[in-house]
Structure 1
Amino acid sequence: MDFSKQKKGTTSVWAGETDNFHEESPSVPIFNTVTYAYDDLDEWYEVAKGNKKGHIYSRNTNPTVKVLENKIRILEGGEDSISFSTGMAAISNTLFALLKPGDRVVSIKDSYGGTSKIFLEHLPKFNIDVTLCETEDHEQLGKEISKGCQLVYLESPTNPTLKVIDLQRIAKAAKKVGAITVSDNTFASPINQNPLSLGVDLVVHSATKFLGGHSDVMCGLLCGRSELIKKVFQYREIMGASLSAEAAYTVIRGMKTLELRVQRQNESALKIARYLEKHPKVDQVFYPGLESHKGHDIAKKQMSGFGGILSFELKGGYESVKKLLHNMKFVHLAASLGSVSTLAGPPRTTSHVELSEAQRKQLGISESLIRYSVGIENAEDLLEDLEAGLDQI
């Protein structure tokens, strides 16, 4: 079925699922099997060589997993897609599959902490040069890319400071030097942003977050150009970071309500950001939906919604952070995001727990910052909860 004319809510439900499945089931079955048997050796060989459709071994492909991969491919508008056991598996497998010793990567300082650790510690061990630019300095990014590189890695909005990158501008600069552009779209979700349509080559998601949506499954997804996906698939096939059928099924089920959840979270996050921006005990609010946000105009251009994540700095440092978070009812103090329930915490225990305080400071992440992932609760209840917590400071 051609989904190009369908709205994203319809696509989230139907993509990859337009045919009835085993025994005419309208729901995706969980194919909980390791291997697949063939009566004919010649047919088995043709499937194994990729000359005929089918499955051989679930470390490589699985029917349930394939439905999920098709769903994200269609939602993001990619040529092909691949899944992983976690979001970090998606990021690390992509980087190591596409880079070799002597290559150069240009990226940003504000990427997720686990990604930063790969750039700061692991890639240099393999003689891969990494240049990290000021995230919102598009001039610097362009200059570093023009010097030559093999891969440009982006994240927009960033975790946890919600900075915004002009994806189309940077992807265009990367193409001039023949570099691959990879963008982490976890914070935006495919409901709010589609980087492939802006010229990016590969889009990565931690499906553990908004796509799954219920904090009950871990998954990573990658989609984009087919020749690049094939390279990453061959690497993952050997490294073994495959997704289980049960996890794939859980993400598929979560994605059916993706648009409903994200629209609610978009609306609530903007209300909360506006409230916090005016509060005397709040130093700064970081949310691309605010007119005061440095990247607001870019976000308006490339996003259809501003997302369910915001962050803010409190006056009074880390002691204020503890007082607020310890005096709120409708929030889990937990290290994830994108769930139906509100989650919050400082980067020292969430996005950048892998880094030292000095490293976080170097990246411009203060100890008074709180990342706040808005759930689908009633926005007025969340606002009252924040107000009660702020009153304790």
Structure 2
Amino acid sequence: MDSKTIGKSTQSVWGGEGFDGKYIATPVVRSVAFAYDDVDRWEAVAVGEQKGHIYSRNTNPTVAVLEEKIRLLEGGEAATSFATGMGAISNTLFTLLKPGSRVVSIKDTYGGTSKLFLDFLPIRGVKVALYDTTDLDGLEACILQGCDVVYLESPTNPTLKVVDLSRLSIAARKVGALVVVDNTFATPINQNPLALGADLVLHSATKFLCGHSDAMGGLLTGRADLVKQVFEYREITGASLQADAAYLIERGMKTLALRIERQNSNAQKIAMYLQNHPKVADVFYPGLPTHPGHELAKQQMSGFGGMLSFTLDGTFEKVKKLLSKLTYSHMAASLGSVGTLVGPPRTTSHVELTDAQRAALGIPEALIRFSVGIENVEDLIADVDEALAKI
């Protein structure tokens, strides 16, 4: 059967694992090196003329299953992996950008990514242009001025803005720029940036892909020539994904489609509840008809995701009070888990930035990021309702 016609849930379960009947669960291969009986065969594998594994910093059988799974789910030509999501982001940007290069991105990116744009890339001589995420015309014009890479994130972390990936990819192609999209929030179940014109798509696999908050990793897929370049950079910098983590992420991905379906539904209902609460000032969720990016999200996404955020009608002190009174929503600096996780940007997505930097990026201090889990939504809403009543 053509892999392009297979459903996302089937790909999540069986993608990359083969159908030779040897294994139902992917084996964890912890061996650092792989032995050969023949030097010629060993050399052929080492130089890429034949398939195989030499050393686990480079490739590993367990990791290869995970890489093939994300390749299939995103529709890429090739894939590679990293020890963390930031490993995927930083290795990709450091591979594609050199002194004198220009990268155009949006102001609303994950805090670690923003740190790269604000501090680490400029000192390497890379020209960085961060543009207002909501000004599509201006962002397009900024790209058309000329650049080497366009880096996008949609929906954005933590304010859930939606970026027109197709339009900006067309603009990037006009100036010969590469388009890289962080698809962590949407997941390949809800959105496929490669089909919208991107060249590369990456994930913090620690989040929704793993889904259980027990393993860290990053994944990249897209054009084979670009993936190969990033792989070669990662091979030397050593940000390799370990087999045990790859196994846990791959096992988590077997239920990805089911989890995302539930999280989409739960987040929609919670967003609708919050929107009507008198103590809530704003709700940011692309599934709401009142969201500025709602129509665009309907065009480029098949689901609105399990992430939302909201602001209280008050100060950060009120945020702290609310969070401390929640029972089923746990305070933690992560997202995408089966359990609901909450927190403000200053301790989660943008902890690396200063108060001034967060303000410059338009992130309200009274914002609460809400990563919706798979619990019964009635319990989650009742929990939030009870906490709001106490502040």
Q: Give the TM-score category using the shorter length.
A: over 0.9
- Residue 105 of structure 1: SS of its match in structure 2? strand
Aligned to 1:387: 385
Deviation at 1:93, TM superposition (A): 0.1
Deviations 1:201-240 (A, max 9, x none): 0001000000000000000000000000000001000000
CA distance in 2, matches of 1:26, 1:327: 43
Aligned to 1:190: 188
Deviation at 1:2, TM superposition (A): 2.5
Aligned to 1:286: 284
Deviation at 1:6, TM superposition (A): 1.4
Deviation at 1:245, TM superposition (A): 0.6
CA distance in 1, matches of 2:308, 2:118: 26
Which of 69, 74, 77 does residue 76 from structure 1 map onto? 74
- Residue 366 of structure 1: SS of its match in structure 2? coil
Q: Structure 2: which amino acid aligns with 1:8? A: K
Q: Structure 1: which amino acid aligns with 2:6? A: Q
Deviation at 1:25, TM superposition (A): 2.5
| Aligned 8 A contact 1:12 1:256 in 2 | yes
Deviations 1:359-392 (A, max 9, x none): 1111111110000000000000000000000001
Aligned to 1:199: 197
- Residue 100 of structure 1: SS of its match in structure 2? coil
CA distance in 1, matches of 2:56, 2:370: 37
CA distance in 1, matches of 2:136, 2:230: 28
Aligned to 2:11: 11
CA distance in 1, matches of 2:159, 2:242: 32
Deviation at 1:91, TM superposition (A): 0.0
Q: Structure 1: which amino acid aligns with 2:199? A: D
Deviations 1:165-185 (A, max 9, x none): 000000010000000000000
Classify 1:20/1:30 alpha carbon distance in 2 versus 1 (closer, same or farther; 3 Å). Answer: farther
Aligned to 1:58: 56
Aligned to 2:208: 210
Aligned to 1:311: 309
Work out whether 1:235 is the aligned partner of 2:233: yes
Q: Structure 2: which amino acid aligns with 1:282? A: V
| Aligned 8 A contact 1:19 1:26 in 2 | no
What are the equivalent positions in structure 2 for 1:1-393 lying under 5 Å apart?
2-20=2-20, 24-393=22-391
For normalisation by structure 2, the TM-score amounts to 0.99
CA distance in 1, matches of 2:310, 2:49: 53
- Residue 284 of structure 1: SS of its match in structure 2? strand
Q: Structure 1: which amino acid aligns with 2:208? A: F
- Residue 3 of structure 2: SS of its match in structure 1? coil
CA distance in 2, matches of 1:131, 1:108: 8
CA distance in 2, matches of 1:111, 1:227: 26
- Residue 168 of structure 1: SS of its match in structure 2? helix
CA distance in 1, matches of 2:279, 2:317: 13
CA distance in 2, matches of 1:103, 1:4: 36
CA distance in 2, matches of 1:274, 1:116: 30
Deviations 1:285-310 (A, max 9, x none): 00000000000010000000000000
CA distance in 2, matches of 1:332, 1:8: 29
CA distance in 2, matches of 1:138, 1:74: 30
Q: Structure 1: which amino acid aligns with 2:8? A: K
How large is the RMSD of aligned CA atoms in angstroms?
0.8
CA distance in 1, matches of 2:272, 2:23: 46
- Residue 135 of structure 1: SS of its match in structure 2? coil
| Aligned 8 A contact 1:341 1:374 in 2 | yes
Deviation at 1:320, TM superposition (A): 1.2
| Aligned 8 A contact 1:207 1:221 in 2 | yes
For structure 1, which runs of at least 5 residues remain unmatched after alignment?
Answer: none
How many residues align structurally? 391
CA distance in 2, matches of 1:377, 1:39: 52
Q: Structure 2: which amino acid aligns with 1:10? A: T
CA distance in 1, matches of 2:24, 2:287: 39
- The ranges of structure 1 where at least 4 consecutive aligned residues each deviate by more than 6 angstroms after the TM superposition are none
Deviation at 1:7, TM superposition (A): 1.2
- Percent of counterpart pairs with the same letter? 64
Deviations 1:238-297 (A, max 9, x none): 000000010110011000000110000000100000010111000000000000000001
Deviation at 1:141, TM superposition (A): 1.0
- Residue 252 of structure 2: SS of its match in structure 1? helix
CA distance in 2, matches of 1:265, 1:307: 7
CA distance in 1, matches of 2:127, 2:295: 32
- Residue 4 of structure 1: SS of its match in structure 2? helix
| Aligned 8 A contact 1:20 1:26 in 2 | no
CA distance in 1, matches of 2:356, 2:195: 37
Q: Structure 2: which amino acid aligns with 1:209? A: K
CA distance in 1, matches of 2:24, 2:268: 37
CA distance in 1, matches of 2:99, 2:260: 40
For normalisation by structure 1, the TM-score amounts to 0.99
CA distance in 2, matches of 1:68, 1:229: 15
